[in-house]
Structure 1
Amino acid sequence: MPQTVKAVVARSKGAPVTVEDIVVPDPGPGEAVVAVQACGVCHTDLHYREGGINDEFPFLLGHEAAGVVESVGEGVTEVAPGDFVVLNWRAVCGDCRACRRGRPQYCFATFNAEQKMTLVDGTELSPALGIGAFAEKTLVAAGQCTKVDPEADPAAVGLLGCGVMAGIGAAINTGGVGRGDSVAVIGCGGVGIAAVAGARLAGAAKIIAVDLDPRKLEQAKALGATHVVDASKDDVVETIQELTDTFGADVVIEAVGRPETWEQAFYARDLAGTVVLVGVPTPDMKIPEVPLIDVFGRGGSLKSSWYGDCLPSRDFPMLVDLYRQGRLDLDAFVTERIGIDDVEAAFDKMHRGDVLRSVVMI
C-alpha cells in the first residue's frame, strides 16, 4: 500500500522549504522504494528551490543519498529488499547508441521512476534529479540504486551520489589524470575539493588548488593539494605557471562555472594539456572570446564533465572500497549531521561557505 512519510518540499521559487507529509506509492515495474538513511545538502537543491533548474514546483528536494531498499517492483533483478545502496541520477537504458557502443557512462536516455510521489492532496511532486531524498522514503527507478558495502557510513558514501562523484570523476574519468601529472583545480567547493582528492587517487605529482577563501584552501590541502593559490591576492595563471616550471598544468579542472575562471583554466594549462569544465554555468554565460589561434596553437583538449562521466555500477563500489580501505577520506566532506528540519539553515551555511556538506540524517 502507498505510504505517507515526512519530506522536505520547495513549494515556490525562493520560498523557504517546508517539512510535509508526502505519499510514496508501491514500486511498479522496474522501480524500488528506498528507506533513506542520509542525504547531503547540495547546491543543486538550492538551485531547484530558487527556480534555477526549471519551474516545475513543488519540488521534493534531496539527491545525494544512501539507504536500504525496502521493496522492489516487477522485473527488478539488480537489487533486492535489504540491500544497502547509494542513489544516482543516471539509470542507464542499455539500448541507446552510447550503450550499444559499450559506453553506458554516456547514456543518452537515462530515466527515473515512472510513478509520481505526491503531496497528501494528490499534487504531483518533481523529485530533485529524479530522486527526492530529503524524505524518510523515496521511489526511484531500480537502476538508480547501486549496491555497495553495507558497513560503510551512509552519511559519507551518500555524497558519491552527486558532488563528490562529479569532482573525482572530473579528474579521473574526464581529465584522465595519471601518475606524475600536474593538476590545477580552480574553485574549491565540494566538487573542486573532490577533484583534488581524485587527482591524488590517480597519482598526480603536483596538485594546485585555487580559491578566494583561505578556509577552502586549507581543506584542499587536507585532501591532497600540494600547493594552494589565493586568487584574491595572486594572478592565477602566472602562479600556476610558476609552480609548473613555466609550462602550465597537464590538467586544469574548472569547478566554478564562470567565463573568467574558464579563461584562467585555458591559459593555465600546458601545451597539449586538458581543460575540464565541471562547474555548472548559468544559461546566459558564454565562452570568453579566446583567439582561435590560441585554441589551435595550444592543442590538447577542452572538455566538459557531466556527473564526472561516471558509471555508478562501476565507480560507486570501487570508491566505497577505497573509502573502507582508508585511501579516500569521504568523512572529510561531512561537515555536520543535521535533522530533516534543518535544511533551510543548511542552505544558509552553504551559501556562506561555512560547510563542505551538511548531511541530513533520517
Structure 2
Amino acid sequence: MTHRVRGVIARSKGAPVETTTILVPDPGPGEALVKVQACGVCHTDLHYREGGINDEFPFLLGHEAAGIVESVGPDVTSVAPGDFVVLNWRAVCGTCRACKRGRPWYCFNTHNATQPMTLEDGTPLSPALGIGAFAEKTLVAAGQCTKVDPAASPAAAGLLGCGVMAGLGAALNTGNVGRGDSVAVIGCGGVGNAAVAGARLAGAGRIIAVDLDDRKLEWARGLGATHTVNGRTEDVVKAVQALTGGNGADVVIDAVGRPETYQQAFYARDLAGTVVLVGVPTPDMKLELPLLDVFGRGGALKSSWYGDCLPERDFPLLIDLYLQGRLDLDAFVSETIPLDAVEDAFTRMHRGEVLRSVVEF
C-alpha cells in the first residue's frame, strides 16, 4: 500500500519550499512508518534548501520530529505500532569498528530506510538527514525511532532529534561538564542555549552566555546562564576571563562554528581546559592558530557531532528529566505553525526571532 500525504519539499537550490503530495510506501524489512505529530524547523533544513549539504534535489525537508509508529517491517522488534517515538539520524549499525569498540555514538555506518519516498510522478525524494518529517507520514529505518514516554509534548520531544540534543550533548557528553565547572557558550541560538541548559543540568557553577543579540542572551538567562556577554560591545576573551578569576572557563563551547568564534573559544578557556566545537562550519572556512599555543595551553580541543549522543540511551533519560521539570524543553518552542508556513519560519529563524518554530500536524 502507498500512502498519499502532504509534505514540504525543496525542489531546487534557493527556491522557496513548497507543500505538495508525496507518496510513502509501507515499511519493508528494517523499516517503520511514522505518523508525524510535530517537527521543528532547523537551520539544517535551510542548508538543504540552499544546496549547502549536497545537490541531491528534490529534498523532503524536516528531521526534528516526534510521532506515533503506524506500522513496521516484518523483522522489526525494537518498536511496535502505537509507540510514541522521537526520530533520530543515528540509527547505529552495531557492527562497525566504533560499535564493536563499545562506542556506538561514533557509529560510522548508520542506517536509513532503503525504500524511497517519491513525488506523484515517481521522482525519488532525498529525505533530510534520512528522515524527511515535514510530512504527515514518513518512512525511516526502525533504528531511527527511539521510544520515549508518551506523556511528553510532541513539539518539545521532537527537538531532541537534532539541535537541542546537539547542544545538550556538547555540554554533557563531549565537554563532560562537571559540578562546579565554569562554562562559556558562544552563540545562543537553539544549539547554544541547549548547551547552556546542559551545563546547568550538569551542575556547572558559572555559565557565561555569549552572543551579539541581547534577545538571545535573555533566552540564555532563562535557561540557566548566570552571566552574559554581548560580543558587539565587549571583548569576549577578556570578559570571560574577568568572570572566571582571570583564568578562563573550564569548558568553552563554540555553537557558531566560525574561525573567529573558535579562536575566542580557544583563548577564553583556562589552561588545560576544553574547547568543544558544535557549530557547523562551511567548507571554505580555515583556522590558523600558533601551534605553540595549542601545545602550551594543554587541555582538549573536541568536535561534537550530534552531541556525541546515543539516542536509545539519551532520549528517554532527557524526556524523563523534562517530565520531572528538570529540563525545560518547552522553552525552546517559540511558536507552533502549520505545515504550509515553513518558508516564513525560515525567515524568522534567519532573523534570530525564534529559538524554534515547530510544525504541528
TM superposition score category, shorter chain reference: over 0.9
CA RMSD across the alignment: 0.4
Q: Any runs of at least 4 consecutive aligned residues in structure 1 with deviations exceeding 4 A, and if so which?
A: none
1:163-312 → structure 2 map (5 Å cutoff): 163-287=163-287, 289-312=288-311
CA shift digits 1:147-173 (9 cap, x unpaired): 000010000010000000000000000
Residue in 2 that maps onto 1:337: 336
CA shift digits 1:109-157 (9 cap, x unpaired): 1110011000010000000000000000000000000000001000001
How far apart are the structure 1 equivalents of 2:353 and 2:247?
Answer: 35
The Cα shift of 1:233 comes to: 0.1
The Cα shift of 1:286 comes to: 1.1
CA shift digits 1:205-255 (9 cap, x unpaired): 000000000000000000000000000000000000000000000000000
How far apart are the structure 1 equivalents of 2:344 and 2:261?
Answer: 29
Q: TM-score, normalised by structure 2?
A: 1.00
The Cα shift of 1:63 comes to: 0.1
Residue 217 of structure 1 aligns to a residue in which SS? helix
1:19-58 → structure 2 map (5 Å cutoff): 19-58=19-58
Residue in 2 that maps onto 1:111: 111
Give the counterpart letter for 1:13 in structure 2.
K
CA shift digits 1:245-277 (9 cap, x unpaired): 000000000000100000000000000000000
Residue 319 of structure 1 aligns to a residue in which SS? helix
Residue 57 of structure 2 aligns to a residue in which SS? coil
Q: TM-score, normalised by structure 1?
A: 0.99
CA shift digits 1:20-56 (9 cap, x unpaired): 0000001000000000000000000000000000000
How far apart are the structure 2 equivalents of 1:286 and 1:319?
Answer: 35
How far apart are the structure 1 equivalents of 2:29 and 2:231?
Answer: 51
How far apart are the structure 2 equivalents of 1:99 and 1:281?
Answer: 27
CA shift digits 1:285-318 (9 cap, x unpaired): 011x211110111000000000000000000000
Residue in 1 that maps onto 2:318: 319
Residue in 2 that maps onto 1:82: 82
How far apart are the structure 2 equivalents of 1:245 and 1:94?
Answer: 45
Give the counterpart letter for 2:347 in structure 1.
D
Q: How many residues are paired up? A: 361
Give the counterpart letter for 1:198 in structure 2.
G
State whether structure 2 residue 54 is matched by structure 1 residue 70.
no
CA shift digits 1:168-211 (9 cap, x unpaired): 00000000000000000000010000000000000000000000
Identity %: 80
State whether structure 2 residue 144 is matched by structure 1 residue 144.
yes
How far apart are the structure 2 equivalents of 1:284 and 1:74?
Answer: 45
Residue 12 of structure 2 aligns to a residue in which SS? coil
Residue 129 of structure 1 aligns to a residue in which SS? helix
Residue 48 of structure 1 aligns to a residue in which SS? helix
Residue in 2 that maps onto 1:348: 347
CA shift digits 1:318-359 (9 cap, x unpaired): 000000000000000000000001000000000000000000
The Cα shift of 1:74 comes to: 1.8
How far apart are the structure 2 equivalents of 1:50 and 1:265?
Answer: 28
Residue 265 of structure 1 aligns to a residue in which SS? helix
Give the counterpart letter for 1:85 in structure 2.
V
Residue 134 of structure 1 aligns to a residue in which SS? coil
Give the counterpart letter for 1:143 in structure 2.
G
1:91-102 → structure 2 map (5 Å cutoff): 91-102=91-102
Give the counterpart letter for 1:22 in structure 2.
I
1:152-171 → structure 2 map (5 Å cutoff): 152-171=152-171
